[in-house]
């Protein structure tokens, strides 16, 4: 019990009551106290598993997953999180459902939710669509619960949308908390969130938007770097500036990768598509103009190719303060996964182990989001689980 005491005391001091029976869609919709609560609960769950104590709060129930984009880490992190708490996962394959036959969002949301406790959605490809769809699903199950159709309202967790990737960025930040020895030690650290070259097209904007939207809240000096024309959604850059002003930090934009790396404590080189191009692609898909979409793809690949020098390499890393390299994975590794990419092989190999550790926080972050939404009294529930001391794995 002693190893959990300080974390439980911290959780008791935080305000997280509004997370109960609520969704997790954008980090900036949550208070600082609620963000801290997710970190503390994630650490408690991690320590329970390491201590072979079962953290299952469910004896039955479903975690529905809907992935409208390919995924490895987030898909398995969501499944791991649900399983950790005692839920089974059922994937909704839209191609095998009545959605393909015109079933409405309201009907689909209610039909999959009869015994579901959480719904995780990844919908990140089209500007103005993903987060909007998630809110439509949330509204439908709220109404279903209100009308007595559902005996509980499933929590909705954003597993990546067009605006934010909260589970990824929260995991990244918890990795930094542990790497630097406490959340208080993040203040003043310089983060270089930079665009990097990729030979592929149309990567979402949600990771860099999530980084600048969250890390500026902790007093971190964030430099956002991209070639001219690769802007993010304007409102997210405005949000980052406001966050930095409120926390006493700096938010700087530059068109120089080198400038961003100078004296950085953390570097996050990651490719993304220009906001204007993603808007155009969304409009073209809506109009069914597939030939124009192919033409746009070729234009963007050619535009990317003008910036092959935007690669995280040893020369740039020498400009930093022995920086920690972050990536949401999979990275485009020069000479390994592609001819030229986001990061050199030498840099990636050096940070391979920390990158895997970074990714390992995501299941606990997702589980913490679910836990705080489902448990009315988080501290007393943890105390009961720890007192019960049921082995997660029985090894006689």
Half-sphere exposure of 17 (CA within 13 A, CB side): 3
pLDDT digits (tens, 9 = 90+) for 173-189: 999 999 999 999 999 99
- Is 178 found in the same domain as 317? yes
How much is the pLDDT for 3? 77
Same domain? 110 vs 190:
no
SS3 percent helix, strand, coil of the chain, rounded to 5, is 50, 15, 35
> Is there a domain that residue 396 lies in?
no
- Amino acid 93: pLDDT: 84
- The answer to whether 25 and 135 have CB atoms below 8 angstroms apart is yes
Q: Is residue 395 part of a domain?
A: no
Tens of pLDDT along 8-38? 999 999 999 999 999 999 999 999 999 999 9
Count of structural domains within the chain:
2
Q: What is the CATH number of the domain that holds 379?
A: 3.40.50.1370
Residue 342 and residue 243 share a domain: yes
- The parent domain of residue 210 ranges over 167-359
Q: Are residues 205 and 144 in the same domain?
A: no
The percent of residues above 90 in pLDDT, for the chain, comes to: 94
Residues 152 and 105 in one domain: yes
Does position 201 have pLDDT exceeding 90, yes or no?
A: no
Per-residue pLDDT reduced to its tens digit, 88-115? 999 998 865 555 556 799 999 999 999 9
Q: Which of 3-12, 87-96, 124-133, 301-310 has the lowest mean pLDDT?
A: 87-96
Q: Are 58 and 117 in contact, with CB atoms under 8 Å apart?
A: yes
Query: Do 204 and 339 reside in the same domain of the chain?
Result: yes
pLDDT of residue 396: 76
Shared domain check, 354 and 277: yes
Express as a percent the part of the chain with pLDDT over 70: 98
- On whether the pTM is more than 0.95, the answer is yes
Is it the case that residue 40 has pLDDT exceeding 90? yes
pLDDT for 69 beyond 60? yes
Asked if residue 103 is part of any domain, the answer here is yes
Q: Three-class SS string for 208-220? A: HHHHHHHHHHHCC
Kindly state whether residues 147 and 187 are assigned to the same domain.
no
């Amino acid at each position: 019990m002693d190893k959990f005491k300080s974390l439980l005391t911290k959780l008791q001091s935080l305000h997280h009551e509004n997370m109960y029976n609520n969704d997790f869609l954008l980090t900036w919709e949550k208070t600082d106290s609620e963000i801290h609560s997710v970190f503390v609960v994630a650490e408690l769950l991690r320590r329970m598993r390491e201590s072979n104590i079962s953290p299952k709060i469910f004896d039955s129930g479903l975690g529905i997953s809907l992935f409208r984009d390919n995924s490895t880490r987030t898909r398995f992190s969501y499944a791991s999180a649900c399983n950790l708490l005692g839920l089974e996962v059922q994937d909704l394959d839209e191609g095998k459902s009545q959605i393909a036959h015109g079933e409405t969002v309201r009907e689909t949301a209610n039909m999959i939710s009869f015994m579901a406790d959480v719904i995780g959605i990844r919908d990140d490809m089209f500007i103005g669509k993903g987060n909007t769809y998630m809110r439509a699903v949330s509204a439908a199950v709220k109404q279903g619960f209100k009308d007595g159709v559902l005996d509980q309202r499933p929590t909705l967790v954003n597993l990546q949308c067009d605006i934010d990737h909260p589970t990824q960025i929260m995991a990244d930040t918890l990795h930094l908390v542990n790497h630097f020895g406490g959340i208080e030690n993040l203040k003043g650290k310089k983060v270089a969130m930079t665009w990097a070259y990729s030979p592929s097209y149309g990567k979402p904007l949600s990771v860099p938007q999530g980084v600048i939207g969250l890390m500026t809240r902790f007093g971190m000096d964030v430099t956002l770097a991209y070639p001219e024309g690769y802007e993010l959604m304007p409102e997210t850059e405005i949000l980052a500036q406001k966050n930095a002003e409120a926390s006493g930090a700096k938010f700087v934009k530059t068109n120089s990768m080198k400038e961003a790396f100078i004296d950085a404590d953390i570097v996050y080189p990651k490719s993304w598509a220009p906001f204007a191009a993603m808007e155009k692609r969304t409009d073209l898909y809506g109009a069914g103009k597939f030939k124009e979409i192919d033409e746009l793809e070729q234009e963007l690949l050619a535009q990317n190719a003008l910036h092959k020098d935007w690669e995280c390499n040893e020369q740039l890393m020498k400009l930093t303060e022995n920086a920690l390299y972050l990536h949401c994975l999979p990275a485009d590794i020069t000479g390994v996964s592609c001819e030229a990419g986001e990061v050199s092989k030498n840099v990636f190999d050096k940070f391979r182990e920390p990158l895997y550790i970074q990714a390992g926080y995501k299941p606990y972050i997702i589980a913490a989001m679910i836990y705080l939404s489902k448990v009315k009294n988080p501290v007393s529930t943890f105390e009961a689980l720890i007192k019960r001391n049921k082995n997660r794995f029985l090894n006689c």
